[in-house]
């Protein structure tokens, strides 16, 4: 029986570290952001729909989607955000389902940062939330993206509160410590999933 395990969290909460441990253990991770990037490339389904909806202003010099420019637009414009989601979500969800279907492992991990926001829990048997207290999350985001505290907070607040995500999840990984501490929590959860 195949188990589908969702991985979610907040921006700069440590999902990449968690996923790297899971990959090193030999498990497949279906990455929703990667699917979005791949399917937004030239001649892919999302690409043409985005140009139709937002115009060629959102292309870069190589005629690829300028994801940064588009992200800036939808960050402050709910209508544009909903329009983009209505284009991208059905195609991405379809691809996630297809990849789950094709996966040969007993445990398949699916990384969906906005899993709860997009109401995609139904795709998963269990959910892991990668949690980080807000103070550390802000500091890591500021450092990672070279932005000030106000902008970091704005980005964090545009997602569902991590404390709420934590209460909804089946497993919680607190990533405030070292990589080693995060790794040990991940390995514990994998043991539980395997029924060891």
**What is the per-residue pLDDT across 159-187, written as a single tens digit (0 to 9) for each?**
999 999 999 999 999 999 999 999 999 99
pTM over 0.85: yes
Largest CA distance in the chain: 54
Residue 195 has a pLDDT of: 86
Q: What is the DSSP letter of 159?
A: S
pLDDT digits (tens, 9 = 90+) for 114-168: 999 999 999 999 999 999 999 999 999 999 999 999 999 999 998 999 999 999 9
Alpha carbons within 13 A on the beta-carbon side of 106: 5
All CATH 3.40.50.300 domain ranges in the chain, comma separated? 1-28+107-196
Q: Which fold has domain 1-28+107-196?
A: Rossmann fold (3.40.50)
């Amino acid at each position: 029986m195949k188990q589908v395990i969702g991985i979610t969290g907040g921006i700069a909460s440590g999902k990449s570290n968690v996923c790297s441990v899971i990959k090193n253990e030999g498990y497949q991770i279906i990455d929703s952001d990667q699917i979005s990037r791949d399917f937004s490339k030239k001649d892919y389904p999302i690409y043409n729909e985005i140009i139709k909806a937002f115009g060629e202003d959102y292309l870069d010099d190589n005629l690829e989607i300028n994801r940064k420019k588009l992200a800036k637009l939808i960050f402050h414009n709910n209508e544009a955000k909903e329009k983009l989601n209505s284009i991208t979500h059905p195609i991405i969800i379809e691809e996630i389902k297809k990849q789950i279907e094709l996966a040969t492992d007993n445990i398949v991990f699916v990384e969906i940062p906005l899993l709860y926001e997009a109401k995609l829990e139904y795709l998963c048997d269990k959910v892991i939330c990668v949690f980080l207290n807000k103070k550390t999350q802000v500091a890591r985001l500021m450092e990672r993206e070279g932005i000030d505290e106000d902008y970091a907070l704005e980005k964090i607040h545009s997602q569902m509160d991590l404390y709420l995500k934590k209460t909804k999840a089946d497993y919680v990984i607190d990533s405030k410590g070292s990589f080693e501490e995060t790794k040990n929590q991940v390995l514990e959860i994998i043991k539980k999933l395997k029924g060891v």
